Structure 1
Amino acid sequence: MPNARPACLRYSVLALAVVLAAGLPQDADAAKKKKKAQPTVTACTDFYTFTNKDWLAANVIVEGTGSVSVLGQLRDLAQQQQRDLLDSAMQAPQNHVQKLLGDFWASGLDVAAVEADGAQPIAPLLSRIDGIRRDKDIPPAIAALHQVGIPVLFQFTPDVDLANLDRHIGYFTQGGLGLTDPTYYTRADPDTQALLGRYKDYVEKILVLTGTPVDKAAAQAQQVIDIETRIANASRPLSLMRDPRNNYALVETATLGKSYRHLQLDDFLAAQAVKDDVVSLANPALFTELDAMVDKIKPDQWKAYLRFHVGNAMAPYLSKSFRDADFEFRGRVLRGETVQPPRDQLVLDAINLAAGPMLAREYVSRYLPATTVSRAESIAGEVRDALSAAVDRSTWMSEPAKAEARAKLGKLKIEVGRPKRDLDYSVQPMGRGSFGGNMLIASTWRHREEMKRIGNANASRRWDVLAQQPALAYDMAHNRLIVSAAVLQPPVLDMTKNAASHYGSFGALVGHELGRSVDAKGKYIDAAGELKTWWTPADDTAWSLRIAPLVAQYSAYPFPGLREVKVNGNQTQEENAADLAGVELAWDALVASQPELPEESKQAFFDGWARLWPQQMTEEEATRRAAVAVHAPGQWRANGPLVNLPAFGEAYGCKAGTAMQAKPGQQVGIWR
C-alpha cells in the first residue's frame, strides 16, 4: 500500500510554501534566534544523531517505500553486485557455472522472448497431467512435480534430525495450498470469505491460461478449492508448526507403502532418489486423509488441482498474462503491493530461488578478498575468546553452567564466506530462448541437490542463507557462527577505516550472535549438540534479574516518528540484551588485542557501532514496527547499549547521569 510522506518532509514543504507565499526571505535575526533555541546535539546527548547527522540529512524515504536504512542499503548493494556479476556472465562467461547463470539471466531479461514463449515451458508438465486416467496415475504425477520444484499436496524437504543434529532426514509436512494459512479455507468471517472469493477468481484465471475452457473454469476452480479445503481441514495451525518438535516423528520408510497405499509414498521417495531408512512424518492424520483423497476423488478433479498448481507456481516466470494474474492476487491482495517489481528484480529473485548456490559460488569468488576473510575470522575468534573470558569471571552464572559454556565455546566453529559444501554443477544446458524453461531446469537441479542431503551426516556443510545475502547469524543446531560474503562490506566491515571500528561494527554484531550460544537461548543445546537444558534454575533467575532493567530503560525511549508512543521494552528486551552483550564483548576483544588504545581508536569503536543503525521510517511503517518489531528502532539500538558502558563515557567525556551515560549504580551489564 502507498506509504505516507514522512512528517519531517511534510513540515518542510509547508514551511517553504509559507515563505514563497509571502514573497520575502526569512528574517535573518529570527532565523538566528530559532537556531540558538535548538539544543546542540553532542556525543553525550544523542550519539546516534551526532554520528549519523550527515546520513540522516542525505537520505529521505522514496515514495512507495516504508523505510530506508544503512543495512537496507547494504542489501541493495549486494543485489547490484549480483546484477553486475550476471551481466558479466552473460557477456563473457569464464566457466561452466557462469555460462549457466549468464544464459539464465539473458533469457529472463529478454521480454520479447518470454512473451513469444507463452505457456510453452509448462506444456510438458500439463501434458503429463492430462495423461492421468486412473487413481494410480495420480501419485506418479505428484512425485514428478516435486522433482521439478513444484511441491503439490504436501511438502517434502530435508532438515536436521533432532536426535542427531549433524544428520539430515526427509520431512513429510503439510502443504499443497494456494493460500498461505489453512484457516483461510475454514473461517466464516466476511473478510476471509471475501478473500476466498478473490482467490477463486484467481484460480479461474490460471486454469484458463493453462488450457481449461472458459465455460468450465468456474466449476474446476471450485474443485481445486474443494481439494485444498480438505487438505486445510486436516492441517495443523501455523502456530504449532513453528516449533520443530511438533514436526518431528520418525517413521521407517519401509512401512510407508503399506500405511499410505494410495499415495505410494515409497515410490515417491524412490522418485526423489531418497534411500534413507527413516523419515519424519509428524501428522499421520493428514497423510491418512490425503491417501483417502487419492482413492476417492475422481482423476478429472485431480487434473484441475495439479494444472492450477503448475500455473500458479510458474506464473511469475511466464508471459504477461500469467504475470498479471499472479500480481493482481498475490501482489496486490496478499502482499499489498501497488506496482510489479522491475523486470531485472524479478529475474534476479528467480535465479536466487532456483540457482542460488551457483550464484553464491561466483559471488564469493568475485567480491570477497582473502584479506577480508582473514580479518573477519580473526575478529570473530577474538570475540569468542572474550566471551569465554567473560564466562570465567561471571558472577551470575553457576559453576556447572560455566563448565558447559566453556566446553561449548571450545567447540564453536566460525564459517566465513560460504558453506564448505560440494555440489554437482552438472545441469542440462539452459540456452537463452526460454526463461520459464530455464527456471524449471534450475529448480530441478536444486531439488536434486537438496535431496542428496537426506540420510547423510553433512548438516554442518549447509547454510540456511546464501553467500550473496547479507547475513551474520549463530546457528544453534551446529554451534557455529555463519558470516556470509555479502555482509563483509561497509558499514559492517569497512577495510578502509580505523581498525578499531571493525570491532565496533562487525565485532559487536558477532558478539550479539555468539552470546546466543550460552545465554537463555543457547541453554537448550549442550556442548555435545544434544537437546538438553544445561542451565540451573539459579542461572535462569540470575539472567532474568540481569536483563530486567533493560525493560524500563528502553520503555522510556520515544519511538522515532511517532507522537506519544514509546518503545516496547518488554517486546524488545531479548534483542536489547543481545546488543548490549555484543558491544561489551567486542570492546573486550578490542582491548585485549590493543591494550594501549589511543583515544581516536576508542572513539572509532563506538563510531563503528553507531553507523550500523541510521534509518528513516514513514509514520505508517513506524506504527507497524512499534506494534510488532522485536528490535528497538535504530536510534536506540545505537544509543541504548552505550548508556551502560563506562568506556563510552570515558571516550567522549560524558558525565554520569547525562543522556548517554547512566549513573554507575544504574548501568546494566551482561558480561562485565
Structure 2
Amino acid sequence: MPNARPLSLALALGLVAMLSSPGADAARKKAPSRAPAVSPACTDFHELANADWLKATPVPQTGAVTVLGTLADTARQQQRQLLEQAMGAPQGNVQKLLGDFWASGLDEAAVEADGSKPIAPLLARINAIRKAKDIPASIAALHQVGIPVAFNFAPDVDLKALDRHIGYFMQGGMGLPDPAFYTRTDADTVALMARYRAYVKQILALTGTPAARLDAESALVIQLETELARTAQPLAGINNPFNNYAPVATREITGRYRNLQLDAFLKAQGVNDDLVSLSDPALFQQLNGMIGRLPAEQWKAYLRWRVGDAMAPYLSQAYRDAEFEFRGRVLRGEVIAPARWEQVLDAINVAAGPMLGHEYVARHVQRDTLRQAALMVDQVREAQIAAVKRSTWMSEDAKAEAEAKLAALKIEIGKPLRDLDYTVQPMGRGSFGGNMLIASTWRHAQEMKRIGKGNADRRWDVLPQQPALAYDLAQNRLIVTAATLQAPIFGEAAGTAARFGAFGALVAHEISRAIDAKGALVDAKGELRSWWTPADKSAWTLIGNQVAAQYAGYAFPGVKDAKVNGELTRDENMADLSGVEIAWEAFTAAQPDAGQSDRQAFFQAWAGLWAQQLAPNEALQRLTAEPRAPGQWRTNGPLANLPAFGTAFQCKPGQPMQRDEAEQIKLWR
C-alpha cells in the first residue's frame, strides 16, 4: 500500500475552493474537476490507527516486531520480576521453591562447576547396560525424567471418546526434526548432516566418550537414528491427528513387542489405562528387532547422546555453546543466544510451568477483572447464538446443533478450572541441572496423570503466564490465559468499546471455531460426527471462496509484486470476519446508546492488535507458510465488509475501507 497521505490533494482542493468563491474573477476559466479527497480512515485504516506505533518501530533486520509480541515480552518480564522477588523474599512454599530454582539457574559459576554432574546418574545407568534385556528399562527410565528416547509417548484425546485422554505411542527418538534429513542426498542436506555429526561428537565427548572413539560412536548414533528415520512417517502425515489414532487394548501390545517390554514401560510411567494408541506397528516392530539385533555398545552411545543433547541447555557452558551453535544457529536461524535470565525462565516454564503459573495468576489477575472478562465472554456468546438463529445460510438442523454446542461451551479464564498438583520435591539452590531433572520428572508424572477416563480436561495445553486465547475443539472449551487480561487486549484503562473491539473480537474469533467447518465435526455432546448438511458445507465453501478472493487481491507488505495467499489464509480470515461481526453485535447490544467516539474506539482497538513490522526475510517466509494474513489486512479486510465501520468513519461505498454493498461478505450479519 502507498504510504503517502492525501494531504497535498486536500490542500489543492482547498485552493480550488478559494478560487471558485464568490468574488473571484468571473472571466477566469473554469478549473478542471477533481476527484474528492478520501479520508485516511477510509483509505488505509490500519496505517491511520497505528501511525504512532509504526513511526516509533523500525523494520527489524530479522524476524518480526508485533504488538502482540510485545505483550508476550511484557508477560515474560512479569514472570522475571516474580521470580526475582521469590528469590529474595518468597511468600509461601511455592515461591520458595521457585526462587531457589531461579537462583540456581542464574548462578553461572555454580552451573559451570557442576559440569556433567547432574546427568552423571543417568550416564552411569546407561554405561551399566550389558545385554539387550537391559535396554528397555533404560529407555523407560529416561522417559520418566522427561527425556524421550527411541519413540515418543504422550497423552492426547481419544478421538472416539473426547472426554478422555489415552497414551499415544508415536515415532520419535531422532535428534533432527524431520526424518527426511537422514535420507535426502541433496547438497544442502549433506552439509547439514556434516554439521549434525560434529554436534553429536561434541556431546559424546562431553558425556565421556574417549577421543579415539568419537568418530566410531557418532557414526553408530547416526546409523541408529537413520534406521528409525527410514521407517518413520513424513511430517505431513504425522501432524494429522487422525493418522496417529489407532486404539488397541494395552494387553495386546505386550505380546507383540516382547523385546521392547512395553508393559513394563507403561508401569514405569504410572499408566494403568486399558487402552493406548499405536498407529505405526511396523516402526515398533522394527524397534523391537533393533533391541536384540544392534549391539549394546551402539545403544549405549545413542542413549548417552540423547541425554546430553536433551540436557545441554541446562548444563555448563561447553554444553550450551555446542547446543546453540547447531540447534540455535543452524536449525532455528538464531544469531545471538538468549540472555541467561531468558534461558532460565524458559527452562522453568518447561519443567515447572504450572508452579509459576499458580503464582502468576495470584499476583497479576484481580477477581474483578475475571468477572468483567467472563461477563464479556457471555455477551459475545449470546450474540453468536442470536446470529446463528437468524442465519440465512445455515440449515435448521445445523442451527439447533450450533445453539446447543454454544450453550454447552465451557469457559475457563485466568487458569484451568482443574488445577494441577503444583507441589514438587524441594529443589534448593545447589544444582540447576539437578533441579531441571527433578522438576522435569514431576512434570512428566503430571502429564501421565492425564491418561485415563475423566482426565481429558485436567489442564490446558498453554500456561496461564503465556498470552493465549484459544478454542479447545475436543473439550468445547474457550481458554483465556491470565497473561491475556492486560493491554492491548483487556487493559485496565481501556473503555468498554475498546475492550469489545479487542478482547471481544478475539473471543468471537475463537468461539466461531465451535461452529465452523472443523467445529462441525464435533457435536454438542462431544461426539465426533459431522452435523452439517451438504447444503451447509456448500454455503460455507462459497463464503470461504469469496473471502479467499478478497484477500488474494491485497498486496503482501514487504514482498515486491506479491499478493496475500487467499487460500492459505482463508480459515483465519473467516474467523477474523466472524470475530468483528459478532463482537460488534455484542457491543451494540451492551451499549445501544454509544456515541460516535465509542464506536470509533471499537474499531481502533481491533486495528491496534495487528500493528507489525516484518524484516524482508520474515515477510518472504510468511508469504508462503503463515496461515494468517499480514497485520494490515487483518485490520482492513474484515472492516471493509462492515457497514458499521463506514458509518463510524463516514466512508462511502467503493472506497478502499468500504466495499460496495454487492461485494460485502457476510458470515453472521
Q: 1:576 aligns to what?
A: 573
Where in structure 2 are the equivalents of 1:113-132 lying within 5 Å? 113-132=110-129
More displaced 10-residue stretch of structure 1: 426-435 or 287-296: 426-435
Give a deviation string over 1:244-272, Cα, whole Å, max 9, x none: 11111122222333211111111111111
Residue equivalent to 1:74: 71
- Give CA deviations for 1:575-612 in whole Å, capped at 9, x if unaligned: 11111110000011111112222222211111111111
Relative to 1, partners in 2 of residues 1:565 and 1:398: Cα closer, same or farther, differing over 3 Å? same
* Count of aligned positions: 642
Q: Deviations over 1:440-489 (max 9, x none)?
A: 01100101111112113121232111111110011111111111111111
Partner SS, residue 44 of structure 1: helix
- Given candidates 505, 509, 513, the residue that maps to 1:508 is 505
- Structure 1's 150 and 540: CA in aligned 2 closer, same or farther, altered over 3 A? same
Q: Which moved more, 1:425-434 or 1:331-340?
A: 425-434
Deviation at 1:352, TM superposition (A): 0.7
| 2:609 corresponds to 1:599 | no
Residue 426 of structure 2 aligns with which residue? 429
Question: Which residue in the other structure is 1:467 paired with?
Answer: 464
Q: CA shift at 1:41, angstroms?
A: 5.8
Partner of 1:138: 135
Secondary structure (helix, strand or coil) at the match of 2:613 reads strand
1:272-291 → structure 2 map (5 Å cutoff): 272-291=269-288
Work out whether 1:413 is the aligned partner of 2:410: yes
Superposition deviation, residue 166 in structure 1: 1.0
Partner of 1:296: 293
Contact map agreement 2:377 2:504 (CA 8 A) in 1: yes
Q: Give the Cα–Cα distance (whole angstroms) in 2 for the partners of residues 501 and 593 of structure 1.
A: 13
Q: Which amino acid aligns with 2:370?
A: V
Identical-pair percentage: 60
SS in 2 for 1:280: strand
2:68 maps to amino acid: L
**SS in structure 2 opposite 1:365?**
helix
Residue 16 of structure 1 corresponds to which residue in structure 2?
A: none
Q: 2:372 aligns with which of 355, 361, 375?
A: 375
| Structure 2 residue aligned with 1:331 | 328
2:354–2:422 Cα contact (<8 Å) kept: no
- Deviation digits for residues 40-64 of structure 1, max 9, x if unmatched? 862122111111111111112444x
The 5 Å alignment of 1:230-269 reads: 230-269=227-266
- TM-superposed deviation, 1:423: 2.8
Which residue among 52, 56, 59 is the counterpart of 2:57? 59
Superposition misfits of 4+ residues, deviation over 4 angstroms = 32-41
Residue 651 and residue 237 in structure 1: after superposition, are their counterparts in 2 closer, same or farther (change >3 A)?
same
**What residue is the counterpart of 1:664 in the other structure?**
661
> Once structures 1 and 2 are overlaid, which stretch shifts more, 255-264 or 168-177?
255-264
Q: Provide the rounded CA distance (Å) in 2 between the counterparts of 1:648 and 1:286.
A: 56
Match of 2:45 among 47, 63, 69: 47
3-state SS of paired residue (1:657)? coil
Change beyond 3 A, Cα 1:416–1:198:
same
Of residues 314, 317, 323, the one that matches 2:314 is: 317
Query: What secondary structure is seen at the aligned counterpart in 1 of 2:260?
Result: coil
Aligned-partner residue type, residue 638 of structure 1: T
Taking structure 1 as reference, are residues 99 and 124 closer, same or farther at Cα in structure 2, changes over 3 Å only?
Answer: same
1:629 aligns with 2:620: no
Structure 1, unaligned stretches of length 5 or more? 1-6, 9-31
TM (norm. structure 2) is 0.93
Task: Output the TM-score relative to the length of structure 1.
Answer: 0.93
Q: Quick check: 2:355–2:423 contact (8 Å CA) kept in 1?
A: no
- For residues 297 and 558 of structure 2, the distance between their equivalents in structure 1, rounded to whole angstroms, comes to 56
Q: What are the Cα deviations for residues 316-346 of structure 1, in whole angstroms up to 9, with x where unaligned?
A: 1111111111111111111121221111111
In structure 1, the residue corresponding to 2:155 is in which secondary structure? Answer: strand
AA aligned to 2:40 is T
How much has 1:663 moved relative to structure 2? 1.6
8 Å CA contact 1:100–1:430 kept in 2: the answer is: yes
Cα deviation 1:281-317 (Å, max 9, x = unaligned):
1111111111111111111111101111110100111
What is the 5 A alignment of 1:350-389? 350-389=347-386
Asked if residue 618 in structure 1 is aligned to residue 615 in structure 2, the reply is: yes
Q: Show structure 2 runs of 5+ residues with no match.
A: 14-36
**Matching residue's letter, 2:229:** A
- TM superposition shift of 1:501: 1.1
RMSD, aligned α-carbons:
1.8
Q: Distance in 1 between matches of 2:447 and 2:308?
A: 23
1:492 corresponds, among 489, 493, 517, to: 489
Q: 1:153 aligns with which of 142, 150, 155?
A: 150
Shift of the 538–199 alpha-carbon distance from structure 1 to 2, 3 Å rule, reads same
Give 1:436-585 correspondences, 5 Å limit: 436-585=433-582
Measured against aligned partners, the alpha-carbon deviations of 1:86-126 in whole angstroms (never above 9, x if no partner) come to: 10111111122111111111111111111011111001110
Question: Larger deviation: 186-195 or 659-668?
Answer: 186-195
SS in structure 2 opposite 1:43? helix
CA gap 1:137/1:43 in 2 versus in 1, 3 angstroms: same
Is 1:105 aligned with 2:102? yes
Q: Corresponding residue for 2:169?
A: 172
Residue 655 (1) aligns with residue 626 (2): no
- The answer (yes or no) to whether the contact 1:155–1:172 under 8 Å persists in 2 is yes
Distance 1:627 1:37, change over 3 A: farther
What is the identity, as a one-letter code, of the residue corresponding to 1:540? K
Contact 1:41 1:49 (8 Å CA) reproduced: no
CA distance in 1, matches of 2:12, 2:202: 62
1:54 partner amino acid = D
Matched-pair contact (CA < 8 Å) for 2:253–2:262 = yes
Q: C-alpha distance in 2, partners of 1:66/1:37?
A: 41
Contact 1:547 1:668 in 2 (8 A): no
Q: 1:630 to 1:423 in 2, by over 3 A?
A: closer
Task: Give the structure 2 partner of residue 27 of structure 1.
Answer: none
The alpha-carbon deviation at position 562 of structure 1 amounts to 2.9
Q: Distance in 2 between matches of 1:307 and 1:408?
A: 50
Alignment-derived partner of residue 28 in structure 1 = none
